[in-house]
Amino acid sequence: MTRRRMRPDSGAADKPSGRVSGYSAAALVRQGLRRAPDWKPAWRSHDLAESYDVVIVGGGIHGLATAYYLASRHGITNVAVLDMGYLGGGGSGRNTAIARSNYLTPEGVAFYDRSVKLYERLSAELNFNIMFSQRGHLTLAHSDASLRTMRWRAEVNKLQGVDSEVIGPDEIKKMAPALDVSDEPRYPILGALHHPPGGIIRHDAVVWGYARAADLYGVHLHQRTEVLGIDTEQGRVTGVRTSRGRIATGTVVNCTAGWSSLINDMVGVRTPIVTYPLQAAVTEPVKPFLDPVVVSGTLHVYVSQTARGELVFGASVDPFAQYSMRGSLDFIEGLAGHVLELMPGLSKARLLRQWAGLCDMTPDYSPIMGPTEVDGFHVDIGWGTYGFKAGPVAGEQMALLINDGKPPVLIEPFGVDRFLAGQLVGEKGAASVGH
């Protein structure tokens, strides 16, 4: 692999690479004074090169973050990111933008905590405001059984240094006055797991920030470039066939969501993934009234209020596996009923739109990351409903894997061989809602 001297600063593996330059107050003033501002596009278009050191399939947060950390941390810049659509048009632009690290297993907590830490400094590192608002995250418990799981999660979190604790209805009411904490509702609120570092992020800003920074380091971002096949010789990757021509490469990283098993099929790698749509919806903006992210597993709903005032809702994955991303009326009816049980005051709120993304579910609700039996073919897939939260850490760790040639400690537990070995990392209990 060719390694370049790193701009804007050279960094050890764990060190931020420094601010990515490009946008500044001076540039804003200069452009503002022009009659016709001439901001350059945030990233460039390129012809497909004949070969790249690394080809990343999937131009979402995971693929772009992997490219960015390869370039910024390891000086590996002869990298292509391919997307059959546009950057961030898949799960990265369809999630409900929640970040948190209040998971259930020590492996999961350590991993997602690293992601929250990377997210905390990402605006400064990328010189691009990703609007991370750490307003706290409340997972409501409506039964003794879920209170027990919340206590369990709180203890595992605290042992890993992650701020989480179980609180009662009075404290919940103070944090989110719109919630009905009386014993009137069908499922009264008995307590909640409160996770102060959790919050929401502007998800497309994460895509644009990583894309711009990767481009500045010389990574080639290829939109509308569909992968049609992956060539191998004697068990090792030799190239990628795309709708725009063939690329020679010895390293391919599958960073897709929704299509991950189809890309794996191209090299005969089998993983236990089933793909389900997950629907979400947003209201018109209303005055700010809801600070924390609120999740109710029993009512299968999560709600947050954006900086603009819209309420963003999500729910469980649809009950049947498919690749369609159409919204459905029965989803919106069920969602509205559940939201009103939680916050009756929203009965007059008007929905603006609904949409769906695809979730690649694994049996243990943990991702599949690392090398595969095909030399040079790596996977960063199987994110289920957790992909957005993990973008930065997944990119950082996949870049380390490619640089070092072996899985780093944080992702060792998530290897594909865990299913054969029966060493699952069960994170179903940390899902926001029952899927």
Contacting residues for 264 by C-beta, under 8 A, at least 6 apart: 254, 270, 271, 372, 379, 381
197 backbone dihedrals φ, ψ, rounded to 5°: -70, -15
Residue 253's SS3 state is strand
Residue 110's SS3 state is helix
Q: Find the helix or strand (DSSP H, E) in which 240 lies.
A: strand 236-242
Residue 257 is given by DSSP the state: S
Task: Report the site for ligand PYC in 298-317 (rule: CB under 6 A).
Answer: 302, 314
Which of 305/432 has CB closer to ligand PYC?
Answer: 432
Shortest gap between Cβ of 211 and ligand PYC (angstroms)? Answer: 23
CA atoms within 13 A on the CB side of 111: 28
Q: What's the CA gap between 341 and 237, in Å, rounded?
A: 53
Residue 202 CB neighbour total at 10 angstroms: 19
Each residue 370-409 as x (binds ligand PYC by CB under 6 A) or -, in order, gives ---------------xx-----------------------
Q: Is 69 in the site for ligand PYC (CB under 6 A)?
A: no
The residue range among 13-21, 94-102, 223-231, 334-342 that interacts with ligand PYC, by the rule CB under 6 A, is: 94-102
Among 96, 101, 157, 260, binds ligand PYC (CB under 6 A): 96
Task: Report the site for ligand PYC in 221-280 (rule: CB under 6 A).
Answer: none
Q: Is 119 in the site for ligand PYC (CB under 6 A)?
A: no
The residue range among 76-84, 92-100, 150-158, 418-426 that interacts with ligand PYC, by the rule CB under 6 A, is: 92-100
Burial of 303 (0-12, 13-18, 19+ CB in 10 A): buried
Which of 98/179 has CB closer to ligand PYC?
Answer: 98
Which of 98/379 has CB closer to ligand PYC?
Answer: 98
Shortest gap between Cβ of 98 and ligand PYC (angstroms)? Answer: 4
Q: Is 366 in the site for ligand PYC (CB under 6 A)?
A: no
Task: Report the site for ligand PYC in 22-61 (rule: CB under 6 A).
Answer: none
Residue 156's SS3 state is helix
The residue range among 57-65, 93-101, 256-264, 420-428 that interacts with ligand PYC, by the rule CB under 6 A, is: 93-101
Total site size for ligand PYC, rule CB under 6 A: 9
Contact 396, 118 (CB under 8 A): yes
Residue 90 is given by DSSP the state: S
Pairing of the two strands 220-222 and 79-82: parallel
Q: Is 432 in the site for ligand PYC (CB under 6 A)?
A: yes
Pairing of the two strands 137-141 and 293-296: parallel
Shortest gap between Cβ of 295 and ligand PYC (angstroms)? Answer: 7
Pairing of the two strands 227-233 and 236-242: antiparallel
Which of 100/212 has CB closer to ligand PYC?
Answer: 100
Residues that bind ligand PYC (CB under 6 A): 96, 98, 100, 302, 314, 385-386, 431-432
